[in-house]
Structure 1
Amino acid sequence: MKLNLATLAIILVGAVLFILNASGMPWTTTRIIGLSTAAPALLLLIVARLQLGGAFSVEAKATNLVTTGLYARIRNPIYVFGAVFIAGLIIWTGIPWLLLIFVILIPMQILRSRKEARVLEEKFGPAYVAWKQKTWF
């Protein structure tokens, strides 16, 4: 629980700093679309991180198999909503060439998810395979 609270505190501090810095900027269509994309993605990212709880680790480990909440439909909601959040921020900035970040980010996340899948399948076997068949990415 301590790690979840630390993660939540970091995200909240980042959000407050973002709001303070963004408050003086004009509300263009691009900024509204970007924020409309980034804000719900950030909330879902926080929910996914909290639901993962103690199973969260930087390196691929298999402590327990989380299959409830967002994880009932998406195997890697942190990656999915993290990418959507970054896309929203990039749209918000109005600098399209920043989308090149995804040239690095997406393949990296796919490789990480594959490594995690191997570790989870080794540890949980049929339970992981059954869950994997019912979920996306």
Structure 2
Amino acid sequence: MNVFADYLARIDNLQHRDRTEEILIWVTKKFPQFVSAIKWNQPMFTDHGTYIIGFSVAKNHLAFAPEQVGIIHFSNEIVQVGYDYTKQLVRIPWDCPVDFSLLEKMIAFNISDKADCSTFWRK
């Protein structure tokens, strides 16, 4: 988690900082094989050199980006839990609970789907 310390310290809203830290710690513990990094000023996790998921903080939400393939695959579930999404990211409003079950499924999907991927992004 030290890799994320500076990023977290720059989040002024303490509730947003705590929620972001909670999620980053959860990912780190749930998927200890991941490499944690800050890239493009965002916390990211990689597995065997390929991108798995990244996070970003905005005024009204915490976003996570599992790449477009994962968003398309889980679009119905994303809507069912009350999140909004675009082609590249899913928004968790600050006043909504984090659906860790959905997050885990989306991360597991990327691990499986990118098992043979040798590039950072999908081609």
Q: TM-score, normalised by structure 1?
A: 0.30
Q: Higher helix proportion, which one?
A: 1
Q: TM-score, normalised by structure 2?
A: 0.33
Larger Rg: 1
User: Which protein, 1 or 2, shows the higher relative CO under an 8 Å CA cutoff with sep ≥ 6?
Assistant: 1
Q: Higher strand proportion, which one?
A: 2
